[in-house]
Structure 1
Amino acid sequence: MTGLRAHVVLRDRDVDVTIEVGPDECVALVGPNGAGKSSVVEAIAGLVALDAGGIEIDGRTVDGARRPVPPHRRRVGLVAQRPDLFPNLSVARNVGYGPRASGRSGREARIAAQEALAVVDAVGLSSRAPATLSGGQAQRVAIARALAAGPAVLLLDEPTSALDVEARESVRAALGTAIAGRPSILVTHDPIEVVALATRVVVVERGRVVETGTTAEVLGRPTSAFGAAFSGLALVPGTATGTGIALDGGGELASATPTEPPGGAVLAAYHPTAAVVTRDGDGPVRTVRSIEPRDGLVRVRAGELVADVTVAAARRLALASGDAVHLTVPPGEVDVYAPGR
C-alpha cells in the first residue's frame, strides 16, 4: 500500500500507536490533551526519534531498523498551530524556501511557490510581508509552504486552533484543497473539522489507540469515552433487550429501532439534550454527581447518565449533588449497538 504506515513507540512518553493512511485518505487523530497525538506527528516528521516500531512513507522506510532518514528528506509537510513564517522574507519567498533548500533552481522554486499559493487562494499575497498578514492569511501561506515542497504526506497538527471562527472557515477550505489526492493526518479538537476533512478517525487515549472507524461510525456510533464526548453524545453500557438496553447501573432505556440480539453486551448512545430529568416518574433512578453550566444549558451528571437541561428546568427542579432523580430518553433518540459496531 502506498501512503503512510507508522508504528510509533516512544517509551519516555508512554506512546505506542499504530496508524495507516491510504493514498487518498485524511485520517483524523483525536484524543484528550496529553494523549500522545502530537508525539505521533512529531515522530512521523522525524522531529522525535523512535524507540521501536517503524515508519514507511509511500513505500519507503524512513525510520525503523536502519538509520532514520532526516526530516528534510522524508517528504513530509507539516502545518502546525502557528504559521512561523520567516519575518524577513516575502510570502512568495517563504513558500519557495522549501523547494530552493532542496536544490531546485530559483525559477523552479518561484513556480512551485506560485502553484502552491494558487491552491490555497493566496496568490495575491505573494509580495506581502508576514507581519502584514491576518492570522487566517498567514496560516494559508503556511499550508502553501508545506505544499510547495511536494510532500508525500501532509501532517496537520491543530492547524486552525489559534484562529477565530471566520478565519477558520477560509483555512478549512484551503486545507480541503491541499489534502486532495495525498495521505494526510489531521490532529484536531474540532468535530466540524473532522466532518469537513477526514474520511477516518483514530481515537488515542493515554498513548494507545482505543477506537478507529470511518468518520460516520466514530461520530455517530462511538465506542470509546472520548469518542462519545468528542461527538457530543452520552454513551452508556448495558445488555440488549427486545426493546432497547438494560443498563449496567440498573433500569432500562427503550430504543425505537433495537437491532441487537437480546442478552448481548451493547452500548446506547443519545444526545444529552434529549434526556428528561424529573424528581419522580419513570426511567432509571440515579444520584446526581454534578451540576455544571454548558453552552447555555445545565449539564446534569447522574450516575453514568448525562442530561443537558435548560436553566429554567434546573431552577424548577432545584437540583443539587446527592439528589435522586429519574432520567428518561425518548426511544427515537436512543441508538443501541454492539461495541464492535
Structure 2
Amino acid sequence: MPGAHPPPALELTATVAERDFTASLSIAPGETVAVLGPNGAGKSTLLGLLAGLVRPTSGRAVLGADVLFDLPPAAPADGAEHTQDARLPAAGNRVSRGHSAPGAVGRRTWTPPHERGVTLLAQEALLFPHLTVRQNVEFGPRSRGASRAAARAAGERWLAEVDALSLAERRPAQLSGGQAQRIALARALASEPRLLLLDEPMAALDVHVRPALRRMLRDVLADRTAVIVTHDVLDALVLADRVIVIADGRIRADGPTRAVLERPTDPFTAELASLNLVTGTAVASRAAGREDAVVDAVELSDGRRLPVAARAAGPADAVTDAVELPDGRRLPVAPTALPPGARVGVAIPPAALRIVTDAKPAAPGQVDAIIRDLEPRGDLVRVRTDLLFVDLAPAVVADLDLLPDARIRLHYDPAAAVAYPLP
C-alpha cells in the first residue's frame, strides 16, 4: 500500500518468571540498539531469549515474518501455580514448532536456535582452535550448505571487511585478543544473520585495542539490525541508534541514544552518562501567565533552589517534549518551554562544577553540600556529596583536605544545568 511503513524487524514481549524478567520491545530494520544496565539487570536474559538459549515462561517474538517463539501462559494444574525453568528445555520437555504442549493454552511455538537466523557474538572469541582463520569464517556458510566456492567468497569478503585478510592462514593461537575478536565478528557476519547480537564484544580487550574495534564495528553495523549489550556509554554513543536501559528485569528507559543519555530520567542512566541528576519542581522567576515569565530555577524537596538554564514558562498542555513518528514511536525532543510547578530533572556535568573555598554568602550558582564519600576513578577522584558529585585531581583533593562529612560549597554555571520534564 502506498505510504505504508515496513513492519519492525523484531517484536518481542516476554516474561521469565524465575528471573523476574519482563520486557517488551520493537526494533526497526537496520537499527542498532544498545542495551545498558547493572550486573544482574537482565541484559543477558534478553540476549538469551532472542538467541534461543533462554526459554520464557510466556511471550511472543517475531523476526521479520518468522515466529521465534509463541508461548501463551500455561494453565495451572488443579489451581497450583505453574513455573517453568528458564533454561533451554530438556529434550523430553521441548515444544517443537507448530505443536501444542500438554497444559498449554492455545498453540505453542518454539524455533530452535540454529533455525532463527540469529547470531550471538560472545565476550570471548571462541574460535575453533583446529581451524585456520579462513576456515573459521567459512564455517557459517558451509554449515548452511553453501558450496566451497561460495563459502570461500564469503570468507574473503568478511575478512576484508574487518581488515584481516593478512591473517587468513593463521591459527587462533597465533592471534592477539583484538585480532581474534575481529575474526569472531567476521565469522558471525559470514553466516548472514538477520539479527546480530553482541554481548560486550570489547570487554575482554585491552583499552588501547578498543577504539580500533569500535570504529570497525561502526562500519559493519551500518544498516544492520543488531543488539549490543555494553557497560561502556561510549559504545552506545558511537554504535547505537537507540538505547535501552534495563534494571531489575524491567526496561527503565528507551529512546534515541543522545536523548536518553543526555536527559536521563533515572539515577543509573545518569551515572552511566556521568551526569549529575537532580529532581525537583520548576520555578518561574516571574508570575506564571505573564508573557515574559521564565523558568530559571528548580526547587528541591528540602527547599534548596538550584538555578538552571532559563526556559520560557508555559502551560503544561502547551509544552511539547516529544514528537510521534509515523510508525507510532515517540521521539523525545528538547521542549521549548517548561510549565512552572512541573516535576523536572536537571542534568549537570561534573566538569561544570568546582569547589568554592571563600566564606562569602552563597551566590547564584552556588550550593552548600556535605561530602558523603570519595571514590577513585582512574586518574581522578569522584567526590560525592548529598546532592551532586564532582571529579577532581587527587592533588586538589589533598590540597583542599576533603574528607567524608566535610561541608563544602559547589559552584556551577547555571547555563550548564539543563532542566527537562520527567515522565
Measured against the shorter chain, the TM-score band is: over 0.9
Are 1:269 and 2:322 matched, yes or no? Answer: no
Q: 1:309 aligns with which of 383, 392, 417?
A: 392
Are 1:37 and 2:43 matched, yes or no? Answer: yes
Are 1:121 and 2:163 matched, yes or no? Answer: yes
CA distance in 2, matches of 1:231, 1:292: 17
Contact map agreement 1:34 1:206 (CA 8 A) in 2: yes
The offset of 1:277, in angstroms, is 3.0
> What is the identity, as a one-letter code, of the residue corresponding to 2:201?
P
CA distance in 2, matches of 1:23, 1:180: 11
More relative contact order in 1 or in 2 (CA 8 Å, sep 6+)? 1
Mean Cα deviation higher: 190-199 or 314-323: 314-323
CA distance in 2, matches of 1:33, 1:269: 24
The offset of 1:86, in angstroms, is 0.3
Report the equivalent of 2:291: none
Report the equivalent of 1:24: 30
Residues 191-222 of structure 1: per-residue CA shift (max 9 Å, x gap): 22111110110000111111111111012111
Are 1:163 and 2:222 matched, yes or no? Answer: no
Q: 1:319 aligns with which of 392, 397, 402?
A: 402
The offset of 1:262, in angstroms, is 1.6
Contact map agreement 1:253 1:328 (CA 8 A) in 2: no
CA RMSD of aligned residues (A): 1.7
Q: 1:54 aligns with which of 54, 60, 65?
A: 60
The offset of 1:312, in angstroms, is 4.0
Report the equivalent of 1:15: 21
Runs of 5+ unmatched residues, structure 2: 1-6, 72-107, 285-295, 312-336
> What is the identity, as a one-letter code, of the residue corresponding to 1:8?
A
The offset of 1:12, in angstroms, is 1.5
CA distance in 1, matches of 2:197, 2:123: 11
The offset of 1:278, in angstroms, is 4.0
CA distance in 1, matches of 2:215, 2:147: 30
The offset of 1:44, in angstroms, is 0.3
Are 1:249 and 2:332 matched, yes or no? Answer: no
Question: Secondary structure at the residue paired with 2:30?
Answer: coil
Contact map agreement 1:30 1:189 (CA 8 A) in 2: yes
Runs of 5+ unmatched residues, structure 1: none
Report the equivalent of 2:104: none
**Which is greater in Rg?**
2
Q: Cα gap change, 1:166/1:292 in structure 2, threshold over 3 Å: closer, same or farther? A: closer
CA distance in 2, matches of 1:87, 1:80: 16
Normalising by structure 1, we get a TM-score of 0.94
Report the equivalent of 1:336: 419
Residues 129-183 of structure 1: per-residue CA shift (max 9 Å, x gap): 1111111111111111111111000111101111113321222223223222221
Contact map agreement 1:249 1:304 (CA 8 A) in 2: no
> What is the identity, as a one-letter code, of the residue corresponding to 2:407?
A
Residues 43-96 of structure 1: per-residue CA shift (max 9 Å, x gap): 100111111112111221111233311111100121111110000001111111
Structure number having the greater helix percentage: 1
Normalising by structure 2, we get a TM-score of 0.76
